[in-house]
A and B are shown apart, each in its own frame.
Chain A
Amino acid sequence: MKWSIDISGTLSPLGILAAMMQKPNTIAYPAVKKETAVGYRGFHTNLLVDCIGCANCQDVCMNDAIDMIKTDKEYNVKNSSQCIPRIDYGRCCWCSLCTDVCPPDSLKLDEEYLGVTQYASDFLYMPKDK
């Protein structure tokens, strides 16, 4: 390697010091929470007054993540199987194909996304009713 003096190449990087005057762009997470965008693909919600228990979501899910289970809550009268989906969050990839095929549009993805746990057995998720 040949060594030669490169004055502009040595001095111009010092322009980085100007950044000290700028406002930091850090989002100080626990104190400042950035809003997720509208339509963010977070956890599932399922409006039970609309859900008809058709299992289209189970059929389209390539990850085998959706179980149709019996519910003890009040369900739609048109729900001919009396089953509602329960999602396995050890499988889900949040592709939202299940919400695309939902005929009454009851299954949706919400903005909520935070799930931290110490136990892997907490992996089953019952969509919130909203």
Chain B
Amino acid sequence: MFATIKNRFATTDIEVKREDLYKVVVQRDAIFELIFMLREQYDYQTLNAITCCDWIEEEHFAITYILTTSDRKQSFMVQTMIGREDAQIDSLTHTFEQAEIMERDLHEMYGIDFPGNQNLVELSLENWVHTPPLRREFDTLEFVNNNLSFREGRDGNMDVKKEMKRLRALKKAQKAAAKKAKEEASEVSDGN
């Protein structure tokens, strides 16, 4: 199976993660061909999940389709990269009915468009107008600070590191002062 995939899709990137889990990374235009081939020839009948991972440094989303054989003993992760700007990849709803809900989820959380999916409406959020929340540039704490408020009354928090430093310096100064005072006292007594 690996040889066929390597020849046909010009990829060397096949990983055996566990004995029941393989992973392959292919070009974006070849991914559906590969999925259909796995489905037709190698009995990967079930689409288990579509996942997405945001690699903001490398400017792309990694979309992974996880396929499982009909006896559920083998899983195959088929991964491809799509650009972060105007992210878009064709829908799989025509082949796998359950892809609709998974794509809807990703559309909401990452703002990826799936042409061919008729039902890309809001799933968990309601009237959301900000950046899609799972994109890396969306800072949830900043959003909370802008829109909501926490309870007051938690004052008195000390920065422990600074406090330790301050106390150590204070102690040192005190010690030095004491020493100095002692020295002065002894000097005075010497002078006498």
Contact = CB atoms under 8 A, between A and B. Distances in A.
Interface in B121-164: 151, 153-154, 156-158, 160-161, 163-164
A83 B154 contact: no
Given A68-B158, A69-B158, A70-B158, A83 B153 contact: no
B156 to A, nearest CB: 4
B74 to A, nearest CB: 37
Most buried by A among B151, B156, B158: B158
A117 interface: no
A80 B151 contact: no
B168 interface: yes
Nearest to B141: A64
23 contacts: A54-B160, A55-B161, A58-B160, A67-B154, A67-B156, A68-B157, A68-B163, A69-B157, A69-B158, A70-B156, A80-B164, A80-B167, A81-B158, A81-B160, A81-B164, A82-B167, A83-B158, A83-B163, A86-B156, A88-B154, A90-B151, A121-B151, A123-B153
Interface in B164-189: 164, 167-168
A33 to B, nearest CB: 31
A58 to B, nearest CB: 7
A120 interface: yes
A120 B152 CA distance: 11
A47 interface: no
Nearest to A65: B154
Please list the 4 inter-chain residue pairs (A to B) with the smallest Cβ-Cβ separation, ordered nearest first.
A55-B160, A67-B157, A69-B156, A81-B163
A28 to B, nearest CB: 36
Interface in B38-94: none
A36 to B, nearest CB: 28
B167 A81 contact: yes
A106 B161 CA distance: 20
Nearest to B152: A121
A57 to B, nearest CB: 10
Nearest to B171: A80
Contacts of A67: 154, 156-157
Contact of A124 (B153, B167, B168): B153
